Homo-oligomer: A and B are copies of this chain.
Amino acid sequence: MKLNTKSRYAVMALADMAIFSDKKAVSLRDISLRQGISLLYLEQIFLRLKKNKIVNSVRGINGGYTFVKSPKELKISDILLALDQKVKTIGCKKDSKKSCNGKSTKCITHNFWDELDLHINSFFENKRLSDLLKNKEVRL
């Protein structure tokens, strides 16, 4: 079980933004250089962050991205959601026809996976972006 790079890079990039955003917009180029993430890939990621109202964009020569919510208010779960990465450990879906494995009843481990999802998602729900930056010296 692992998180994909898209989600990971998104959190990294936004953490970077949080550190370096002193009112001004932060450009992807800068983030790319500081965090070692491909610029083109970052564009793809920020497209979705923008669509999901995590960031605003500023075009033009001193452009870049700014936060919609402040890092203090921005939940990690919001970020993952923007990238379609909510945790769904299993396939047991509430399909109309069959639940779980084609049986009419829930599979024996169903409740367990539900618990797991809850356990993981609550972690992301309770973390704000600003929490990641505590005790971080800023490296320039």
Q: Which residues of A contact B (CB under 8 A)?
A: 1-5, 7-8, 11-12, 15-16, 19, 35-37, 85, 87-91, 101-103, 105, 107-109, 111-113, 116, 119-120, 123, 127, 131-133, 136, 139
Contact = CB atoms under 8 A, between A and B. Distances in A.
Number of copies: 2
Nearest to A14: B109
Contacts of A15: 108-109
A11 B109 contact: yes
A105 B139 CA distance: 9
Nearest to A19: B108
15 contacts: A1-B2, A1-B87, A1-B120, A3-B90, A5-B91, A11-B109, A11-B112, A19-B108, A36-B101, A36-B102, A36-B103, A108-B136, A111-B132, A112-B131, A112-B132
